[in-house]
Each structure stands twice: as structure tokens, then as C-alpha cells.
Structure 1
Amino acid sequence: MKMNWLLMTAGLAATAIAASIPALADDPILIKFAHVVAENTPKGLMAERFKELVAEKTGGDVVVQVFPNSQLFGDDKVLEAMLLGDVQLAAPTLSKFGRYTEVLELYDLPFLFEDLDAVERFQQSPLGQEMLHSVEGKGLIGLGYLHNGMKQLSASKPLRTPEDAAGLTFRIMSSEVLEAQFEALDAAPIKKSFSEVFMLLQTNAVDGQENTWSNIYSKKFYEVQPYITESNHGLLDYMVVTSAEFWNGLPDETREQVAEALDEALAYGNQIARDKAIEDKRKIAESGRTEIIELSDAERAQWVEAMKPVWQQFEGQIGRERIEAAYSANRP
């Protein structure tokens, strides 16, 4: 009698589980999009636009949750978390892919690109698009590039010539190229996460940092750095990335809808990056909290001369062909 009751109970449980499967199948696909910057930056605004577009294009079949300001993971951990399935989409800086591929180090080379127009020309070229696929052997898929902007130098003292940076400490992202860049100036680079930068500057734990106008403004770095040199010496861009397991596991139609939404969101974010560079520089200047130093052509040439050897230092792992193609993009 007892055995019959157990069998009946097991049968009812199996029926209940089977009945629940269709309902589970109808649940929306969840995409957790983690990033490290504020909501009002190009990346933050792009992520929110992507969320809206996905909802429109999939009719609610896919739901995007955006986690800004390192709420889930910092850029140093997010790719590992993605491979474990804890997050489905991220947009780390291109510097963060050093453990997965060397070719993307190209984007950290100092004074390689003159402006975002040159960056855009190279990234949309066959060679630039090919570089999106450089992480696929590690289980990741690059889906597109997102601009933040050209980087400026901020410091506790005026920086007009390379000699002015000698002996100072600068926070950098984890990147061998950026490390070499500051060592070329006889400065000391210190690798720290983006979420720590304000405190490091405020407490004088470091003397300076490099960043775009939008990050300097949104994170209030200008309030704790008395000088910003408009150097436009480097590029801060991101690669939107997902795991091959997640991406290839999506239904074909859903994948196409999400990819279309992302392409539109990236175009939106890239235009914002251009607009905010102008707008946020103006806001910083108007704040009166810091002095913006504009370099003369002769002064800028000194910085180029000091940092240019970094290109040759990393030519072997990046590839001369890629460096030459990227530099050629400065001439339309």
C-alpha cells in the first residue's frame, strides 16, 4: 500500500513538472548587460537605448537588464563571469582583452589616431572588422565597437612637455601598452580599477590619470585634478562582447533581432560620444575647478616624439600591417 502511494506521488510530481515546461519555455530570454561607467556616459546611454530597442524588436521575448557603475562586475572580472554564464553582454575597454588576444593592443598605442573620424574609418575597414573576431578562440564573440573618445591627461601639476610628467604616478588600466607609454615619459604607471580612480586622485595616492572628457566629467575627476592637458594622445573605445555559448544558443530570428538592435544602439552611442566630448569639455571649463591646458603644435610634437617608440616595442605582437593600416586611416 505504501509503495502504491509513493508511485502515485511520483507520478503526480512528474505530471506537474511536465506541465510546467511549456510555461518555462515561454519565459523571456534574459540578457544581463554589465558595465563600469555612469548612466550618463556614451556607454551608459547606449546600453539603455539597446534595452529599449530589444524590447521593441523582440516584442518582449528578450529582456535586457543593465547594470552600470560596476554594480555586478568590474572590467577585470566581467569576461570571466561571462564565460561562466553570470552575465551575457559587456562592453569592456579594448585594453581589457590583453589576456585573450594581443592584436587589440593596437588601440592603446599613443598618437596612432588623430580623431574619431580616423578611428571610425579603420574600425569599419575589413581589417578593423576582422579584429572583432580575434577573441573567438577563447569562447567570446565581438559584436561591435563603441566610442568613448580621445583621451586627455590630468595631473596635480601642469603638463606641457613630456619632461613635466617625469617622476609622477599615473593610474592606468591593465595594459602593457599603457604601462610602456608612461614609462617612456619616465613616469610611474599604476594599474587600478576604474571604480577606484576618484579616491586615488582625491587622496593624492596617484598624481594623475588619462581619460576622455565624458569620463572626467561624469566621474568628477576634474574636481580633484587642478590641471587637464588636452593631449588627445590616445583612444578609449570599447568592444561589445558576448559568449559564444550564449550567442550561438539563441534562436536564429532572435539573434538577428538582438544584433539589429545593437547596431542601432552603437550608432546612437557613437554619436553621443562625439557630442559629449564637446559638451563635457565645456562644462569642465565653465566649472572653474581645473585649468585646461591646450598644447601648441610644437609642444604636441614633443609628446609624439617621446611616445612614438612604443609602436615599435609592440609591433611584433600587434603586427606592422595593422599599425600601418590604422595610421593610414588618418588620411581619408
Structure 2
Amino acid sequence: MKIRILAASCALIMGSITTGTAMANCDDGEIVIKFSHVTNTDKHPKGIAASLLEKRVNEEMNGKACMQVFPNSTLYDDNKVLEAMLNGDVHLAAPSLSKFEKFTKKFRIFDLPFVFQDVAAVDRFQNSEDGEKLKNAMKRRGLVGLAFWHNGMKQMSASRPLIKPSDAAGLKFRVQASDVLVAQFEQLGASPQKMSFKEVYGGLQTKVIDGQENTWSNIYGKKFFEVQDGNSQTNHGVIDYLVVTSVDWLDDLDADVRDQFLTILD
């Protein structure tokens, strides 16, 4: 069973698993696997996928391994989690692909506008030989990708209607920490503002930013519609995730534990 979740399938997944914020109690002798992510557990594809992975690991690897999921940036946000992973303080994360820019430039392909027509096109690329190579692109920096997880295509919201590109001129847009994304909004005449995901709601509410780009699941899951009701369906880019771990942690696992864990994740 592949833990690959599209935003459109959230309702089906939600009906098949029980989600929540209760942390698993690990027994003595079990390998503790800490998974940190930034979304909620019941309304967002990443949170739902993490909960499903936790459920399967704790059922199928009982006595050998125990997974604990930390949602909503309660342990680390995506800007800090990779350094924490390299320090051995957390074992799994699923940051958006833009977050890997400081480790390799190869993931910039996902930040380029209008490269992928839809999620199906993204999926074909990620499952291609080139997509598989990307999982190993950060090994020399101590990180290895385990699986791509889908979120969806990006939409734009703003404090005024966005009908044509020039409508974005002069507006402050939140972007992820990606030079490619910064360049995109500068080309529109907008002012890109690098900001963490957890700060976007407050930024929109207090008018620190005038707009943002995100998937429908992110907009719904974080309730951005409460503080900004103008959305434009642009499908101009993609936000996906890479489940990632440290090379050292993965290599240190006993072979049988590692193989079973990777089989569940796949």
C-alpha cells in the first residue's frame, strides 16, 4: 500500500484511519522514530499521510520500532527540521521541495512556473529515472529522500482580484525560501516576502503581506479563507513533499528493520 496521497483523496483517507494529536507510547527496546511536520493531522494530505504511516509502523513493527508524529510545527518548523535531523534530534520529515534549495539546486525544477500541467504530470516525472535520482541528490550532505508525497497545484490569493499578471504589481506576496520563487514574483512587479508556513495566517490577518501562493489543501487546512477571501485558480506551480531522513540514521538501522520500514513507507 503506497502512502501517496493527493489532496482530492483526503476524504477517502480520513474515512479509513483515525487521526489525532496523541503521541504513541513507545516500549523499552523499541527504536523511536520521530516524525516532525508543519500541518494538522486531519485536514491536510501530509498530516493524514503521516498519521497513516505512524499507524502502520506501530502496528506492523510493534516491538521493533515505534513512531511518534509531531504535527503543526510542535517540534520543528520546516526551516529548522533538516539541521535537527543532521544532528540526530529528529528522524523523519516531509518538507516542501523548496526547502531543499540550500542542500542542492536540483529541486528548483519544482519551483519553476508552468513546468507541470497537473499533478499527474508531476507524478510521472517523480516516478521516472530522473525523479528517482533526485532522492539521492543530497546524500553527500547527509540527507536521503525516501518517498515523494503529493500536495497539489499552487493557486494565488490576494487583497485584490488577480485577473492578469499586472494585477500582482506592488503587492507583498509571501513565498517560501526559494530564490526561484522570489525571482518569479519580482518579474510580476510584486514584492516577495520570505515567511514560514506557520506565519502566513497571521501575516494575512495583520496585512503584513497582501497575498500568498498555496495549494487548495493548504488554504483550507490553515483556514486562510478566514482572513483573505480572494483566490485565483492559477495552477501555476506545484507544492509537493519529500519524506527525508539522515543517511547516518538509516544506515545504522538493522537491515531487517530498515527493509520493513522502507516497505511500509513505499
Fold similarity call, TM over 0.5: yes
Q: How many Å separate the matches in 2 of 1:75 and 1:52?
A: 23
Q: How many Å separate the matches in 1 of 2:216 and 2:229?
A: 15
Q: Deviations over 1:75-107 (max 9, x none)?
A: 010000000000000001100011100001111
RMSD: 1.1
Q: CA deviation at 1:118?
A: 0.3
- Matched with 1:31 is 33
Residue pair 1:54, 1:257 contacting (<8 A) in 2 also: no
DSSP-derived class of the 2:33 partner: strand
Q: How many Å separate the matches in 2 of 1:186 and 1:71?
A: 35
Q: How many Å separate the matches in 1 of 2:63 and 2:220?
A: 35
- Matched with 1:285 is none
Q: CA deviation at 1:53?
A: 1.1
- Matched with 1:63 is 66
Q: Deviations over 1:154-207 (max 9, x none)?
A: 000000100100010000110001101101101000001111000000011110
The answer on 1:218 being equivalent to 2:221 is yes
Q: CA deviation at 1:57?
A: 2.3
Q: How many Å separate the matches in 1 of 2:154 and 2:40?
A: 17
The answer on 1:194 being equivalent to 2:194 is no
Q: CA deviation at 1:211?
A: 0.4
Residue pair 2:29, 2:63 contacting (<8 A) in 1 also: no
Q: CA deviation at 1:60?
A: 3.2
Q: Where do 5+ consecutive residues of structure 2 fail to align?
A: 1-26
Query: What pairs with 1:1-332 in structure 2 (closer than 5 Å)?
Result: 27-40=29-42, 41-263=44-266
Residue pair 1:171, 1:209 contacting (<8 A) in 2 also: yes
How many equivalent residue pairs? 239
Q: How many Å separate the matches in 2 of 1:90 and 1:137?
A: 18
Q: Where do 5+ consecutive residues of structure 1 fail to align?
A: 1-24, 264-332
Q: CA deviation at 1:26?
A: 6.1
Amino acid of the structure 2 residue aligned with 1:175: S
Q: Deviations over 1:44-92 (max 9, x none)?
A: 0100110111123223311000001000111010000000000000001
Residue pair 1:157, 1:226 contacting (<8 A) in 2 also: no
Q: How many Å separate the matches in 1 of 2:147 and 2:235?
A: 23
Query: Which TM-score applies when normalising by structure 2?
Result: 0.88
Q: How many Å separate the matches in 2 of 1:127 and 1:195?
A: 32
Q: CA deviation at 1:38?
A: 1.2
Query: Which TM-score applies when normalising by structure 1?
Result: 0.71
Q: Deviations over 1:227-271 (max 9, x none)?
A: 1000011100011000011100001110011111111xxxxxxxx
Q: Which runs of 4+ in 1 moved over 6 A?
A: none
DSSP-derived class of the 2:57 partner: helix
DSSP-derived class of the 1:87 partner: coil
Percent identity between the aligned chains?
Answer: 53
Q: How many Å separate the matches in 2 of 1:220 and 1:226?
A: 10
DSSP-derived class of the 1:198 partner: helix
Q: How many Å separate the matches in 1 of 2:59 and 2:254?
A: 17
